[in-house]
Amino acid sequence: MTSQEILTKIDVDRVDAWFGENQVLQQVSLQIPEKSVTAIIGPSGCGKSTLLRSLNRMHELVTSARLEGKILLDGEDVYAKGVDPVLLRRRVGMVFQKPNPFPSMSIRENVTAGLKLTGKLRGKNAHLIVEKALRAAALFDEVKDRLDAPGHSLSGGQQQRLCIARSLAVEPEVLLMDEPCSALDPIATARIEDLIHQLSTTYTIVIVTHNMQQAARVSKRTAFMLHGELVEYTLTDKLFTSPQDTRTEDYITGKFG
């Protein structure tokens, strides 16, 4: 492979999605490169979070959800018969908008929660797993002397990094982030953005954000969605400096949003 070739980690192929009778995605196709950050932007209700959650089948936890088309992870259809969604979500982790550490668990227990649920903690050195995940989330030095303190005792930004550590502990290949900084102050947001840069050398990251400046700062590629359609998907610098679709230009210049 030459340095110019880009490996595709996730291939979204003509995906339609519904919640009940309401169609929320229409013929969406895009290729997400591995070990890179891809941002999805667009106004509220455009389908960006549904697209994100369809990548690891989180959207189907809503009983009325239905999807057509294909989503391939390393060339394999994640919706094929026999695919275990729980195991899929180990490979494709999720960080949500609001930090959600388990309230009854310590910092240590929060990190290992996913491994316990999947039965993967048995016979492993939990202490090493906790330290590795917290270091990867740039949190270990701040909490190493209070690992038995409740997870909810941390600040908002620390709680979000704890949730990232919890996702990393199960050793995913892809990390999905749904508005991960919207509940955080500017300082905590900057820490998360720095962390995203660091993690992108190891993980494929897809981030939904309403903050176009954030998309410009953290991502290599950006997809713009509107009314359930993928309007434009290209290199982030190109999308923000020379959009090819007038709808993209109108959105990024603030004519609607």
pLDDT tens across 46-77, in order? 999 999 999 999 999 999 999 999 999 999 99
Predicted TM-score (pTM) of this structure: 0.93
**Edge-to-edge strand ranges of the sheet holding 37-41:** 92-95, 174-178, 204-208, 37-41, 221-226, 229-235
Instruction: Indicate whether 3 pLDDT > 50.
Output: no
Mean pLDDT value of segment 209-224: 97
More confident residue, 116 or 88: 88
Q: 172: closest CA among 92, 98, 239?
A: 92
- Tell me if 239 sits within 8 A of 248, measured CB to CB: yes
Instruction: Indicate whether 225 pLDDT > 60.
Output: yes
Q: State the pLDDT at residue 53.
A: 97
pLDDT confidence band for 114 (50 / 70 / 90):
confident
Q: State the pLDDT at residue 256.
A: 82
Q: What are phi and psi of 98, to 5 degrees?
A: -100, 130
Distance CA 28, CA 10 (A): 13
CATH number at residue 155: 3.40.50.300
**Distances, alpha carbon 207 to alpha carbons 19, 64, 178, in Å:** 22, 25, 6
More confident residue, 45 or 122: 45
For 28-52, the pLDDT digits (tens) are: 999 999 999 999 999 999 999 999 9
Is 241 a domain residue? yes
- 3-state class (DSSP) for residue 73: strand
Unique residue bearing structure tokens 């050195």: 125
- 3-state class (DSSP) for residue 237: helix
For 240-251, the pLDDT digits (tens) are: 999 999 999 999
Is 163 a domain residue? yes
Distance CA 217, CA 227 (A): 25
Is 3 a domain residue? no
Instruction: Give the mean pLDDT of the chain.
Output: 93
pLDDT confidence band for 125 (50 / 70 / 90):
confident
Mean pLDDT value of segment 82-98: 94
Q: What is the DSSP letter of 43?
A: S
Mean pLDDT value of segment 139-152: 96
Distance CA 179, CA 206 (A): 10
Is 110 a domain residue? yes
Q: 53: closest CA among 81, 21, 82, 28?
A: 28
Is 50 a domain residue? yes
Total domains in the fold of the chain: 1
pLDDT confidence band for 1 (50 / 70 / 90):
very low
Is 40 a domain residue? yes
**Edge-to-edge strand ranges of the sheet holding 76-77:** 22-33, 8-19, 65-73, 76-77
Instruction: Indicate whether 176 pLDDT > 90.
Output: yes
Alpha helices in the chain (DSSP H): 48-54, 85-91, 107-117, 126-136, 140-143, 156-169, 186-199, 212-218, 236-241, 246-252
**Distances, alpha carbon 60 to alpha carbons 20, 57, 64, 117, 184, in Å:** 12, 6, 8, 20, 28
Q: State the pLDDT at residue 135.
A: 96
Is 257 a domain residue? no
Number of neighbouring beta carbons within 10 Å of residue 80: 9
Burial code of 161-176, b = ≥16 C-beta within 10 A, e = fewer? bbbbbbbbbbbbbbbb
Is 83 a domain residue? yes
Query: What six digits make up the tokens of 114?
Result: 């996913």
- 3-state class (DSSP) for residue 175: strand
pLDDT confidence band for 124 (50 / 70 / 90):
low
Write out the residue range of the structural domain in which residue 154 sits: 8-252
